[in-house]
Amino acid sequence: MATQSPAISHARKPFQPYLSFPERLRRRRGGFLLVELIIGLVIVALVMLGAAAIMGAVAQGWNDQDVTRSTQVQANQTYVRVQNALQGAKYACYYAAGDVNGNSAQPGCIFFWQNYKLQSGAILDPYLGEMALIQYDPSTNSLWLYQNPSASSSDPNQMQVLTSQSNFATIVSQFPQQSFLQKQALGGPGIQPNDGTRLQVKGFQVFVNPYWPSAAGAQLPVVEFAIGFKQNDGLIRGIKGMELATSLVLYNSTTLRGPATQPQ
């Protein structure tokens, strides 16, 4: 009996592209090598660090702009308050020059005749209750205005008469303790906590020419003043305890709208 030889198949195998050994190994394994995973994680970490650095720089830029705007706003508010207080003054009776950096032995101040509320008839000499004082206080880094909100002719303290012979240095040193006065912060933290968010006043310098009692004739006094400010801007590059201090000085002058002739 004749044996049959097996049939030979001539069907062509499907085309298989050439694969390198690592590719064939990966297909056979179906995953990633540990080294490949580590490299991928390192790349992702580098990208995230770069993105974080960019976002941090943007945030710091916004913060710097906010601090700058806040500094300018607070400085301008102080400037306007001092200007308004002096523009309504009748005469400057005493001043201590001071210094914009707060280095003078006596803080800068100006003692002026604020109003005529206690006068009756002809205006002669000022009463203590008509006076006001702008004074720098280095202990609070603030510029203060002391004024009388309620003039009363029945108060003997308010009715003290001031003349060119008065000892104004002594009067000014005792003036803030008068019970009829109201204390207002023109600049600086004032009575608020000095937590670094408020612009601090570091000095007040003033000059009056001429001023009573040394003035002669009917010339109206010109008051020149300068206010020094400082503020800590916060952290530098995220280093705790390292702060950047901002300092600026504003200058101005004003002519008092005093009486036609100086007090006697």
Residue 231 clears pLDDT 60, i.e. is over it = yes
Band of residue 193 on the pLDDT scale cut at 50, 70, 90 = confident
In a domain, 125, yes or no: yes
In a domain, 25, yes or no: no
Contacts of 139 (CB under 8 A, 6+ apart): none
Classified as helix, coil or strand, 135 is strand
For the chain, how many structural domains are there in total? 1
> Rounded distance, CA 136 to CA 185, Å?
10
Residue 243 clears pLDDT 50, i.e. is over it = no
In a domain, 11, yes or no: no
Considering only CA atoms, give the Rg of the chain: 39
In a domain, 264, yes or no: no
In a domain, 142, yes or no: yes
List pLDDT tens digits, range 197-209.
778 899 999 998 8
In a domain, 14, yes or no: no
Question: What are the Cα distances from residue 196, in Å, to 7, 122, 191, 239?
Answer: 97, 50, 14, 17
> 0.85 exceeded by the pTM?
no
Tell me the residue type at 33.
L
> Rounded distance, CA 119 to CA 157, Å?
15
In a domain, 162, yes or no: yes
**Structure tokens belonging to residue 136:** 């720098």
Range of the domain at 198: 46-255
In a domain, 95, yes or no: yes
What percent of the chain clears pLDDT 70, i.e. is strictly above it?
Answer: 70
Tokens 């240095």 belong to 169
The pLDDT mean for the chain works out to 78
Residue 158 clears pLDDT 90, i.e. is over it = yes
List pLDDT tens digits, range 18-70.
556 566 655 555 556 777 788 888 888 888 888 888 887 776 665 555 545 56
Closest CA to 200 of 227, 174, 166: 227
